[in-house]
Structure 1
Amino acid sequence: MSKPEVNAFFVGRALAQAIGEQVEKTLTQALSDLGKFDAEQRERLHAFMEEVMQRAQQQAAQTQGSANSAEGDFNFANEPEGDLQATIDELRAEIARVRAELQRYRSRSQ
């Protein structure tokens, strides 16, 4: 084998390794960004749900203050854990329905 062929082999090998490293870095960065995005979205959803629950508690407290004997008042502080989870599940289902309807609206508008 001549020297240019040997050099070409090593250049090709080095090129393949460098490309592999760049692909690995790019893929790792993309997965990292995706993980960060997912965590941020979960955090935003959690904060949104807390805000909704806080508003509901405030409204319930106002309602109780103005009409203590009214039926249908909500008091989330005294709800068992299962009822709170059911409420959260219902809110999630409602959000999903609203998103689907919004997507249908957007697709019809285009």
Structure 2
Amino acid sequence: MVHAFFIGRALAEATSEQAERLMTDALSQLGQFDAEQRERLRQFTEDVMARAQAAEAAVVQNPDGSTGSAMGNDQDLQATIDNLRAEIAQVRVALQQYRAS
């Protein structure tokens, strides 16, 4: 009877140590995963911001390389929008004719 008590006690201690080790490893891996994800998010954010700044700089610069207002680009953009609207209207007319036939 005494022998069974000590076996049970040893089993409980070993099981407790094993559970503690597994829990520590799991929390360590979770912390490592969290740190890696935060680093990836930080790098992604920096990449997006760098791309946005590069695109903004390309739009703001004049052809001679100096920075300034993008007013000339606004007129070109408006002309492009007008052309696209005209093309869309032509496609709609062609689609209606196709559906009618």
After TM superposition, is the score higher than 0.5?
yes
TM-superposed deviation, 1:68: 2.5
Encode CA deviations 1:20-40: one digit per residue, 9 max, x unaligned: 000001111111111111111
Q: 2:69: which partner in 1?
A: 69
Give percent identity, aligned residues only.
Answer: 57
Structure scoring higher RCO (CA < 8 A, sep ≥ 6) equals: 1
Look up the equivalent residue of 2:68 and give its one-letter code: N
Q: 2:55: which partner in 1?
A: 59
In the alignment, the residues of structure 2 paired with residue 15 and residue 49 of structure 1 have an alpha-carbon distance, to the nearest angstrom, of 51
Matches within 5 A, 1:1-110: 5-66=1-62, 68-70=68-70
In the alignment, the residues of structure 1 paired with residue 22 and residue 70 of structure 2 have an alpha-carbon distance, to the nearest angstrom, of 60
Look up the equivalent residue of 1:69 and give its one-letter code: S
- Name the TM-score, length of structure 2 as normaliser: 0.62
Query: Structure 1 segments of 4 or more deviating over 3 A?
Result: none
Structure number, greater radius of gyration: 2
Q: CA RMSD in A?
A: 1.4
TM-superposed deviation, 1:61: 1.2
Which runs of 5 or more residues in structure 1 are unaligned?
A: 72-110
Encode CA deviations 1:36-73: one digit per residue, 9 max, x unaligned: 111111000000000000001111111121372127xx
In the alignment, the residues of structure 2 paired with residue 19 and residue 68 of structure 1 have an alpha-carbon distance, to the nearest angstrom, of 71
Q: Secondary structure at the match of 1:68?
A: coil
In the alignment, the residues of structure 1 paired with residue 28 and residue 60 of structure 2 have an alpha-carbon distance, to the nearest angstrom, of 48
Q: How many residues align?
A: 67
Which runs of 5 or more residues in structure 2 are unaligned?
A: 72-101
